[in-house]
């Protein structure tokens, strides 16, 4: 198998699972008042001893302090070619040793540094991998392996964050736009872009990138999952239901497929069927889907009222005449009120113009805030965390009432 083919396998099998599972609630959408989401060491030098102890192979099979590398045993091949062969065989320590030698012999070889980065990444040496990819791309900003390795590191391997997803997306989109890219590389760049766009709440773009992958590989389960997730976020519920149903037997995505089918059936009021899917998702992946601290409707209304009463005086004054209500789930009309639609997992919503703008007279009251019981409960791990999330979501929606957009709210820690 070619090294790019193996990297594709590395991407499309277990290593393609994001380090953290998708949040129960999606990040806020600009201008619509949705809720808040729930949700360096130096690189090792080539060794000088043949007798350096061998380390286990494979991601995670390493110690925090890497021993000196063994001498590159290239078998008569160029060190970079040997590194690629070792990587194909998942012998990552030997791959690193030969890539390090190749980089030492040719310090300006972008591919040698990219190969070092991929071996370091596979060994879990993230800071060193970041430096190796940075050097590769400083030498050649269009290095295919440098772009692919960096994109995979930031979007797939590291825990998801807005900045990491944005950075990884820049790398993957640059690779995807590069003319003459081999089809298997196009597939890998498009898949990483689909993941990053979904994580960033840009479902239309995620759907388009998933379509690129599926045009090349119709049975690519990773792309099928990203497509299903994008359809759900775009409120194309019938299509999302069919897409998630096709993934129920998939060992990597079955739990998330059950969870999303539960969310879809819940929206239809089919509570018993929805709960069966939630229970199955928890059975398959208890860490991703722990039991939510679901209060009764009366308890939730009381918690919301208490949160309003605890607001600073200036905030309470701004809320005068603005009802704050508790609902089970976002209504379709609210989700589809703008373009793109709001996520079905928003935690709260501010309706109407900000205080600085006049009401148009078509709505009574013209401004309101709503918090969603089921989405909020799934965004919290304990009853105490739920109360914190209610408070934070309320602050977020009052921010929209005052005219702040999502960028301003994120800067204040209310993303």
SS3 label, residue 281: helix
Backbone angles phi, psi at 350, to 5 degrees: -105, 125
Average pLDDT over residues 329-333: 95
Give the model's pLDDT for residue 259.
Answer: 98
Q: Is-contact 214 237, C-beta < 8 A?
A: no
For 131: left if phi > 0, alpha if psi spans -120 to 50, otherwise beta; the answer is: alpha
Per-residue pLDDT tens over the stretch 279-325 = 999 999 999 999 999 999 999 999 999 999 999 999 999 999 999 99
CATH number listed for the domain at residues 297-411: 3.30.2010.20
Measure the CA–CA gap between 204 and 386, rounded to whole angstroms.
31
pLDDT of residue 269 exceeding 70, the answer is yes
Measure the CA–CA gap between 161 and 199, rounded to whole angstroms.
8
Provide the residue ranges of all domains of the chain, joining segments of one domain with +. Answer: 1-16+74-182, 297-411
Q: Which CATH class is domain 1-16+74-182?
A: mainly alpha
The angle formed by the CA atoms of residues 304, 306 and 311, to the nearest 5 degrees, is 95
The shares of helix, strand and coil residues in the chain, as percent rounded to the nearest 5, are 55, 5, 40
Per-residue pLDDT tens over the stretch 137-178 = 999 999 999 999 999 999 999 999 989 999 999 999 999 999
Nearest to 198 by CA among 170, 225, 235: 225
Nearest to 193 by CA among 220, 219, 211: 211
Q: Given this chain, do its domains 1-16+74-182 and 297-411 carry the same CATH topology? A: no
Measure the CA–CA gap between 238 and 216, rounded to whole angstroms.
25
Per-residue pLDDT tens over the stretch 237-254 = 999 999 999 999 999 999
pLDDT of residue 84 exceeding 70, the answer is yes
Give the model's pLDDT for residue 289.
Answer: 96
**pTM over 0.85, yes/no:** no
The residue that leads in pLDDT, 46 or 170, is: 170
Average pLDDT over residues 251-267: 97
Q: What are the angstrom distances between the C-alpha of 312 and each of 34, 112, 303?
A: 21, 57, 16
Round the average pLDDT of the chain to a whole number and report it.
86
pLDDT of residue 4 exceeding 60, the answer is no
Within 8 A by CB and 6+ apart from 391, the residues are 307, 310
How many CB atoms within 10 Å of residue 73? 14
Cross-strand bridge partners of residue 327: 372
Cis ω before 365 (30° cut-off from 0): yes
Q: What are the angstrom distances between the C-alpha of 346 and each of 71, 244, 334, 374, 382?
A: 54, 20, 11, 10, 19
Place 66 in a pLDDT band, splitting at 50, 70 and 90: low
The DSSP string of 4-55 is: HHHHHHHHHSGGGS-SSPPPSSPPP-TTS--------PPPPPPPS-TTPPP-
Residue where the block lists tokens 């998702």: 281
């Amino acid at each position: 198998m070619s090294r790019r083919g193996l990297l594709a396998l590395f991407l499309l099998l277990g290593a393609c699972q994001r380090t953290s599972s998708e949040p129960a609630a999606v990040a806020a959408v600009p201008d619509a008042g949705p809720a808040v989401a729930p949700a360096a060491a130096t690189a090792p030098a080539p060794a000088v001893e043949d007798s350096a102890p061998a380390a286990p192979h494979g991601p995670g099979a390493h110690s925090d302090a890497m021993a000196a590398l063994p001498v590159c045993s290239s078998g008569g091949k160029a060190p970079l070619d040997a590194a690629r062969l070792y990587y194909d065989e998942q012998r990552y320590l030997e791959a690193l040793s030969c890539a390090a030698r190749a980089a030492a012999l040719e310090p300006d070889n972008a591919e040698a540094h990219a190969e070092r980065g991929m071996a370091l990444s596979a060994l879990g040496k993230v800071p060193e991998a970041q430096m190796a990819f940075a050097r590769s791309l400083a030498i050649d900003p269009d290095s295919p392996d440098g772009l692919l390795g960096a994109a995979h590191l930031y979007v797939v391997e590291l825990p998801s964050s807005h900045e990491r997803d944005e950075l990884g997306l820049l790398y993957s989109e640059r690779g995807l736009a590069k003319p003459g890219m081999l089809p298997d590389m196009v597939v890998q760049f498009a898949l990483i872009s689909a993941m990053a766009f979904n994580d960033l709440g840009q479902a239309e773009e995620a759907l388009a990138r998933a379509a690129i992958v599926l045009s090349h590989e119709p049975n690519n389960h990773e792309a099928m999952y990203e497509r299903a997730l994008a359809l759900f976020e775009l409120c194309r519920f019938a299509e999302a239901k069919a897409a998630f149903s096709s993934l129920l037997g998939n060992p990597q995505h079955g739990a998330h497929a059950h969870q999303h089918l539960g969310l879809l059936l819940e929206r239809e009021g089919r509570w018993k069927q929805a709960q069966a899917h939630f229970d199955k998702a928890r059975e398959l992946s208890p860490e991703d889907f722990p039991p939510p601290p679901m209060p009764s409707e009366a308890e939730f209304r009381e918690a919301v009222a208490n949160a309003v009463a605890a607001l600073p005086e200036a905030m309470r004054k701004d809320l005068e005449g603005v009802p704050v209500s508790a609902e089970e789930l976002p209504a379709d009309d609210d989700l589809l009120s703008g373009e793109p639609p709001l996520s079905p997992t928003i935690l709260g919503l501010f309706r109407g113009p900000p205080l600085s703008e006049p009401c148009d007279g078509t709505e009574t009251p013209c401004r309101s805030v709503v918090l969603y019981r089921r989405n909020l409960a799934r965004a919290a791990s304990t009853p105490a965390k739920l109360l914190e999330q209610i408070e934070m979501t309320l602050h977020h929606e009052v921010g929209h009432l005052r005219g702040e957009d999502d960028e301003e709210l994120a800067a204040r820690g209310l993303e």
